[in-house]
A and B are shown apart, each in its own frame.
Chain A
Amino acid sequence: MKKIRIGIPYALYFYEYYPLWKEFLTRLGAEVILSKPTNKNILDLGVRSSLSEVCLPVKIFYGHVLSLADQVDYILIPRMVCVEKGAFFCPKIIGLPDMVKSSISTLNSLLVPLVDVRKPYGTWKNSLFQVGQLITDNSLAISRAFSISWENFQKNYVANLLDPKLLNPSLLAKDTKNVAQGLDKMTINININIAVVGHDYLVNDSYINLNLIDKLKKMNVNILTPSMVPPRIVKKQLKKLYKPIFWSLSRKAVGAALYYFENKVEGVIHLTSFECGEDSMVGELIHHQSKQYPEVAYTEFVFDEHTGEAGINTRLEAFLDMVRRKKQYEINFAPSR
């Protein structure tokens, strides 16, 4: 029998939930086709088929859906509403299946399971079950596939968390020693920690963020991301705010930013996309919090479909120069910590 082919657009929340769906569907014997990483073609497709007022990540999601359209039987677009108490997804993500359906008329069938853990029919298990029943009638197999893939999903999530050594200032201490030994002060390569916070789909999509992560790596920077911060710490950090944040996807970014501020990393870069509603508010909150930590440099990069690489390069270099110079100054003149 021919396998059912299910397409997963590699954008938005799938940066977080793709491993779960992939494993579940493969275990049930479906063929999972992941769209290619974002490229010029996908962006163009997305921009052409969506309204101009829609935010960049959603436009790119459109592009991924269109690029999958003629390769698969079904396209998976879960309606993500709520995965934890007191927090929702952004309105555009909740309405995403309907938006895609009404903008693109030529699509194959969409799979739209509801994920809303407040409701008994919307739990992860039920929503995966709905999709599983399309592939096989054997509910025992579905059940087993669910529990295994759920377990692995949790395990992998923990595996990606922060290695505590990364935040250790020992690297810096070594450099200070070198300085004391009389090495050339100006050429010492000071290892600095830069936290890149923002939605997963901005931090991890190297096409949208114009290879920012690679660029930072080349500049000998130790990169920290929100996914490295354990959920427990995020929760604790968010208590600092006057009012809890009610967007699931932003919670991680804000909690991580506050955590990195508190641990005095050298710099924090907040990635936002043009027209993103969450980021406009959350950016202001992070900015406000950053003022309490004057020793941490903070900047915000906004991306849209017209962002030029040269502009970002200049800003990034200027930001790093500033951070480095500050560090150098501390090593040369300030008493070491």
Chain B
Amino acid sequence: MKLTLPRLGNIEVAYETIITDMGHELIEPPPNSKRTLDLGVRYSPEYCCLPLKIVLGNFIEGLELGAEVLLMAGGWGPCRFGYYAQVQRDILIDLGYNFKMLIMELPRGNWKTLWDNINILRNGKKWSYFANQFGLAWQKILLTEKLENKILQVRPREKKKGITSRVFADTIVKIKKAKDREALKQIEREALQQFDEITDFKKKNLIRVALVGEFYVSLEPFVNHHLEEKLGYLGVEVVRKNSIRAWVEPIVNLHLFRENIKDEKEIEQAAYHYLAHSVGGEGQSTVGNVVLAHQEGLDGAIQVIPFTCMPEIVAETILKKVSEDLDFPTLTLTYDEQTGEEGLNTRIEAFIDLLKMRRRKGVMVS
């Protein structure tokens, strides 16, 4: 079976482990590009949020390469994400493609669909093997995220400009090829050592900024115009607040391990004064994370949102008040298919200058 999946940051490190090793043929969609965006924008409803358009572009490019099955995640609202798969399916049918869509979501009542979908993925392999491969894929994602968080600290301190990204790109290739957990541990050790070699430890007291906002936009560098890299080159240490781990764990472990949701509780608690109820998506955790970032002593927060995102607009409105109350600078960057690179650069630089100025002032006063 020829299968394709959407892209999201470096998540493709896990694809081979759960698709190719199960005996399917993996059609990897080409990396996100101008063409992906154009295709998505051309066929999506105008006021849909950006992730829907990009993922649709991924699917079209995958189908052009001969994919027969599309794998997509789902949900039950109130964020629009829960309806992505349905709308994309309708659009692709109207475009005349012939395909089957597997939607992975916690079912409402009808567990059979999920069971069938998992069996299609399992493809007659042993359950133990299937579970093991899934575990390995998850480890790969965790390792990638760990290293991604690490390079956010390394990049502003790198000895030679651009070397961090190069080292990381090599590591990603290695992670992709890894066949067992031992290999992953080896890769982790090597990578951390390499990172140490390229870091200039003399650089201290850098500006630290929290990156909050919508899940897809904050994790996909093509969509946010390589925001993390840009900030890194400006000498800013980014603290990423969204992660695939934090997104998946509450869903999957919902009924298994309660203690894993502790982090989420803490964020909710922090947001409670400003936003007392979850509004779907990352709305409440954006507010909570900004409050927490202030408590952790960070210098500021950048919120990234796709144009028309419902939960994040609620959060944006409330962040104005949070920022005022806590005297904590926040910047909201809205992305859509028209976002221009230079305008973005100017805004980021101005914001970072402001943070630097505040630091200097603080030093002088105290």
State the A residues within 8 Å of B (CB): 50-51, 53-54, 79, 81, 86-92, 94-95, 97-99, 101-103, 114, 241-247, 274-281, 283-285, 288, 291
Neighbouring B residues of A245 by C-beta, 8 Å? 83
Q: How far does the alpha carbon of A51 sit from the alpha carbon of B334 in the complex, in Å?
A: 13
A-B CB contact pairs (8 Å), 21 listed: A50-B317, A51-B320, A53-B308, A54-B317, A87-B77, A90-B310, A91-B79, A91-B311, A92-B279, A92-B310, A94-B314, A98-B277, A99-B317, A102-B318, A102-B321, A243-B83, A244-B108, A277-B310, A280-B46, A285-B90, A288-B90
State the B residues within 8 Å of A (CB): 45-49, 74, 76-80, 82-83, 85-87, 89-91, 93-94, 108, 274-281, 283, 307-311, 313-314, 316-318, 320-322, 334
Known pairs A53-B313, A277-B308, A281-B80; A95 contacts B45 (CB<8 A): no
Partner of A242, one of B49, B76, B86, B314: B86
What is the chain A residue whose CB lies nearest that of B90?
Answer: A288
Neighbouring B residues of A241 by C-beta, 8 Å? 86
Q: How far does the alpha carbon of A283 sit from the alpha carbon of B90 in the complex, in Å?
A: 12
CB distance A279 to B279 under 8 Å? no
Neighbouring A residues of B281 by C-beta, 8 Å? 91
Q: How far does the alpha carbon of A318 sit from the alpha carbon of B322 in the complex, in Å?
A: 49
Least CB distance, A271 to chain B, in whole angstroms: 14
Q: How far does the alpha carbon of A246 sit from the alpha carbon of B86 in the complex, in Å?
A: 12
Q: How far does the alpha carbon of A81 sit from the alpha carbon of B77 in the complex, in Å?
A: 11
Q: How far does the alpha carbon of A86 sit from the alpha carbon of B109 in the complex, in Å?
A: 11
Q: How far does the alpha carbon of A244 sit from the alpha carbon of B76 in the complex, in Å?
A: 9
Q: How far does the alpha carbon of A51 sit from the alpha carbon of B83 in the complex, in Å?
A: 26
CB distance A103 to B321 under 8 Å? yes
Neighbouring A residues of B283 by C-beta, 8 Å? 91, 95
Q: How far does the alpha carbon of A50 sit from the alpha carbon of B310 in the complex, in Å?
A: 15
* Interface-central residue, A97, A243, A245, A279, by most chain B CB under 10 Å: A243
Partner of B76, one of A50, A97, A246: A246
Neighbouring B residues of A247 by C-beta, 8 Å? 77-78
CB-CB nearest 6 A-B residue pairs: A102-B321, A95-B314, A246-B77, A280-B47, A88-B78, A277-B310
What is the chain A residue whose CB lies nearest that of B276?
Answer: A98
Known pairs A90-B78, A285-B87; A275 contacts B280 (CB<8 A): no
Q: How far does the alpha carbon of A285 sit from the alpha carbon of B94 in the complex, in Å?
A: 11
Known pairs A102-B274, A281-B48, A291-B94; A92 contacts B314 (CB<8 A): yes
Least CB distance, B96 to chain A, in whole angstroms: 13
Using A88-B77, A246-B76, A284-B91 as known contacts, list a sample of 5 further A-B pairs with CB atoms less than 8 Å apart, ordered by residue number in A: A53-B308, A94-B279, A99-B318, A244-B108, A291-B94
Known pairs A242-B86, A243-B86, A275-B47; A288 contacts B94 (CB<8 A): yes
CB distance A98 to B313 under 8 Å? no
Least CB distance, A141 to chain B, in whole angstroms: 29
CB distance A102 to B91 under 8 Å? no
Neighbouring B residues of A95 by C-beta, 8 Å? 275, 277, 279, 283, 311, 314, 318
